[in-house]
Amino acid sequence: MHRVNPFETAKKQLDQAAKIADFDPKYIERLKVPDRYVEVSIPVVMDNGEQKIFTGFRSQHNNARGPYKGGTRFFEEVNLDEIRALSFWMSFKNAVVNIPFGGGKGGIIFDPKKVSPAELERITRGYVQKIFHLIGPEVDSPGPDVGAGSQVMDWIMDEYSKLSGKKQFAASTGKSLDQGGSEGREEATGYGGGVILREVLSKNLIQPIKKTIAIQGFGNVGTFLAKSVHELGWRIVALSDSKGGVFNDQGIDLEQAAQHKKATGSLKDLAGTRNITNEELLELDVDILVPAALENVLTAENANRIKAQMIFEMANGPTTPEADEIFNQKKKIIIPDILANSGGVATSYYEWYQNMHQEKWPVDEVLSKLHTLMVQAFNDVFAVQQKYQTSFRNAAYILGAERIINTIKNKGV
């Protein structure tokens, strides 16, 4: 199987939307290239006294609408094309939910599970030292991503503050609450996805047979989305994590699944379910499939075997352009990542705003603001989708591109 380049995928998605909306090619060409990207080497003394050199990246795609914003990925398969693609998607995601940020993304090539907490801290701080001159509250504020949670964000903020000579809470987002983090941030992506899903279902775009959903990925995002799905009265029949999945056509008890995963480290062998592979989960006969793990899981190879009527993208870039084409031919509804999973970055913006204005909002206020924002984002995309009679992915790209291009035009050269 050939390796899909996510950055090429991102550019193809934009090209497709641009054709439909007839954008000026000059601006589209401009949006295909990040403003800047860097690769840095991070020398770290490990616990055994040996030195190891780690490779880190930061891609800053476009800041026409505001500071660059995007996560930091700690993963052994991170590469520059992936980081550039993710920064590109962030620009569009931020524009779709209409928050004043551009797109950025960072990453370091390593497995955070294979280092000690002290080594993880040294790697994180070393990374900040190398990109310090490129980031900051009003330039580029990194957030969490695969392998990098609130503790890592605390270290990024602290190291940036040390280097700049003053406490700067807005230097990163996704921090722990006592370090300037926002209430509601943990559940934001899954909660926001739940709001979008409810809005989509209210339009009766699919005729559900059994109201069943399969979710690939039972990390933070999948967990909170699953709760929303449950509240909508749908049945979650399959869940998976990196080690494999479980299936029960009568529905899976979420509380039991969460406890089992906590106790054993995986979903495998969950009582009352049968074990399935991640590949099998994708091909189940369900009404809605939710890829909520990594990119490129829906490809030309498996697209014809996908039975779900709707694909709801909670992962970044889970569908290749070839798979997209097949799904569109089969009249499947695809709710794209740049709409479905944008609740996380929206709440990162709320955290950044609170930090910049020395405010602290209660969780109800955060989720209420997020709810309003997500409903508006869906309505905006839906209006474009209806206007052009096109896919939701094209509609989201058209909306995002329009907003970014208008800002560039208004600013002048």
| Amino acid at position 114, single letter | K
Are 120 and 152 in contact by the 8 Å Cβ rule? The answer is yes
Q: Is 189 annotated as a binding residue?
A: yes
Q: Is 220 annotated as a binding residue?
A: yes
Q: Is 355 annotated as a binding residue?
A: no
| Amino acid at position 310, single letter | M
Q: Residue 316: which residues within 8 A CB-CB, separation 6 or more?
A: 86, 89, 295, 337, 341
Phi/psi zone of residue 191: left (φ > 0), alpha (ψ -120 to 50 degrees), beta? Answer: alpha
Q: Is 348 annotated as a binding residue?
A: yes
Torsion of CA 250, 255, 259, 265, to 10 degrees: 60
Which residue shows structure tokens 């380049």?
5
In the chain, count of helices (H) and strands (E)? 14, 12
Catalytic residue among 12, 19, 32, 105: 105
Strands of the sheet containing 36-45, edge to edge, are 36-45, 51-62, 102-108, 68-74, 140-143
Six-digit token string for 45: 């003394």
| Residue 307 is among the residues annotated as catalytic for this protein | no
Which residue shows structure tokens 């997500």?
374
361: helix, strand or coil: coil
Rounded Cα distance between 404 and 399, Å, is: 9
Give the strand pairing for 235-241 and 244-247: antiparallel
Rounded Cα distance between 213 and 234, Å, is: 7
Are 97 and 403 in contact by the 8 Å Cβ rule? The answer is no
Rounded Cα distance between 309 and 10, Å, is: 24
Q: Which residues pair with 41 in a beta bridge?
A: 55
Q: Is 19 annotated as a binding residue?
A: no
DSSP 169: G
Q: What is the number of other CB atoms lying within 10 angstroms of the CB of residue 326? A: 18
Please state the separation of Cα 149 from the chain's center in Å. 14
Are 225 and 190 in contact by the 8 Å Cβ rule? The answer is yes
What's the per-residue H, E or C state across 135-198?
A: CECCCEEEECECCECHHHHHHHHHHHHHHHCCCCHHHCCCCCHHHCCCCCHHHHHHHHHHHHHH
Which residue shows structure tokens 């050269």?
413
The binding site consists of 69, 93, 189, 220, 348
The binding site for substrate consists of 69, 93, 348
The binding site for NAD(+) consists of 189, 220
**Which residues are part of the catalytic machinery?**
105
